[in-house]
Structure 1
């Protein structure tokens, strides 16, 4: 998972594993499928449901969250997250 732009995702309250191995079928969340269980996954606990930006460039000081260190985050580019189809 090494791209130039963060992944914008709405996460429900609770604990989440953010995958960094690139082998998950449900990026950016670790699905623990197959033999590789993403030993490099970062744990992220959400106190409430919230839309967040997940870092994909590995330059953030707040991994797994994007802090704009790469210069391509959606806040600095005034983009809005896409809505998922119903």
Structure 2
């Protein structure tokens, strides 16, 4: 059974983790929309490389969204020592 961090380290860890997770949460939709824009620009100017890079950005945004969703619970569990 995990134990909470001693003193105020749990609160500090939860705060820093929350800030990082908020920044990551905002960057996921930004990456998605930039990827869609890059795909559109690559198709418009007939640039195959730009469209391929945009598709990679969209795929990365989906994977980052999955990691972001699972990371929130992990950080809370480490900071507070609770499993639920």
Instruction: Give TM-score scaled by structure 1 length.
Output: 0.24
Larger helix proportion, structure 1 or 2? 2
Structure with more contact order per residue of length (Cα contacts < 8 Å, sep ≥ 6): 2
Higher strand fraction (1 or 2): 1
- Whichever of the two has the greater Rg, that structure is 2
| TM-score, length-scaled by structure 2 | 0.25
